[in-house]
Amino acid sequence: MKILKIIIGPELCWIVLYIFSFILAWANKRSNFAYDTIIENAWLYVPLLSALIFGLYWIPYAEKNWLLLRIWIVSIIMGHVVLETVLKAYSTQGPGIGMGYLAGILLLFIILVVGSIVVKLIH
């Protein structure tokens, strides 16, 4: 049970999301940019999926000490890494895809603030 408290956390969630984004970026380059529409909307999908991390507060074996701080630190760092990885695989690099990165990071911060408020009010 002690190992579950170490393994279950926001780091694991972001690593899974990073692996998925890496595979998506690789598949997009290999398949002649067939997944460009999914990658173009990654600025929305990545922050929305990161909102699920706040569900760790309701998992019984997850470590609750410092969880909110861990969520914030890992989400900021890995949010950047995941968005950068997936958006670099877009076929036509230009100002539009750069704005997608900025919109994704901004939405991630909004979700972190709202999620933190909800968790503190409910939990």
> What tens digit of pLDDT does each residue of 14-41 get?
999 999 999 999 999 888 888 988 999 9
Structure tokens at 19: 């692996």
- Is pTM, for the whole model, over 0.85? yes
What is the overall mean pLDDT for the chain?
Answer: 91
Q: Which domain holds residue 22?
A: 2-122
- Please tell me the total count of domains within the chain: 1
Indicate whether 86 pLDDT > 80.
yes
Contacts of 55 (CB under 8 A, 6+ apart): none
Confidence (pLDDT) at 33: 86
Higher pLDDT, 59 or 111: 111
% pLDDT > 90, the chain:
66
Taking alpha carbons only, the member of 47, 50, 52 closest to residue 103 is: 47
